[in-house]
Copies of this chain bind each other. A is one copy, B any other.
Amino acid sequence: MEKFEVHILGCGSALPTAHHMPSSQVVNMRDKLFMIDCGEAAQLQMRRSKLKFSRLSHIFISHLHGDHCFGLPGLISTFDLLGRTAALHIYSPAGLESVMRPWLNVFCRGLAYDVVFHEFDDKASQQIYDDRTVSVTTIPLRHRIPCCGFLFNEKAPLPHIRRDMIDFLKIPYHAINDIKQGADWTDYEGRLWPNAKLVFPPEPARRYAYCSDTCYLPELSGQLQGVDLLYHEATFTHDDEKRALETAHTTALQAATLARDADVGQLIIGHFSARYVSDGVLLDEAKTVFPRTILANENLCVKL
């Protein structure tokens, strides 16, 4: 299986505690890194998780609250000190560039690489990133300010060559790539071998969804249907449902209900309020509805 991992750098809510850092995570897709949210000290956590700075060129910011953004200046500055020349792309709802540029002008004068801001409409789902192996689509959420989650859609991996058939038919090396892409083969006696005889089917393409911060949106189960891994905020227990509503956050029970309704492979809950001494209460609550739930934690790595 090609590498597709999620590294949690921080899974606390706005108030950092002794246990949890503010929101940030890194998706490792075949050794290309994508950051989601960049709370204070994200760069320090990235170093602790032994993730290579040079492999990160795309950062997705869900919304313009400090606990999702305050790590940006330090990260951008460190990249510069390390001699970065490749452009850094930052995707966010409107308003980030106008607040970041003056800081970069003061604190990162003469930056040797480009920081390119891409501001997206937060109202409708849209594809904001695409390369050979993955595309990223926004998931419009409902929070106190414009906010979107992100859906990472792996491109269908290539099928596996059947070595026995390659050897048997003496297929030359230069033809392999075409066969992986779906070509048939005509052997030296003129017989046609259909592609299906030459390859084993690939693993199915995987999907990862990040939803934070948001109130409970049952209608998301459509867009999230069948994703392999869902990270969803579960700031409060259901006892605090009123507080969750007021602050536009989700309870553990609600996150699990969404995971069940969307029939996801696994649920990670995070963005824990500082009020709970132990996150175990949140996990126990979620598991009553969706047993395949785990707790986010700093430096946790989840493989898809």
Contacts and interface: CB of A to CB of B under 8 A. Distances in A.
Given A15-B78, A18-B47, A40-B71, A106 B99 contact: yes
A103 B103 contact: yes
Contact of A99 (B17, B64, B69, B103): B103
Interface string A202-218: 00000000000000000
Contacts of A69: 107
B66 A44 contact: no
A16 B43 contact: yes
A201 interface: no
Contact of A107 (B17, B65, B81): B65
A44 B15 contact: no
Interface residues of A, number: 33
Contact of A73 (B17, B70, B102): B70
A277 interface: no
Nearest to A22: B74
17 contacts: A14-B78, A15-B81, A16-B44, A16-B78, A17-B47, A18-B47, A40-B41, A40-B43, A40-B71, A40-B74, A65-B107, A66-B74, A66-B77, A70-B70, A70-B73, A99-B102, A99-B107
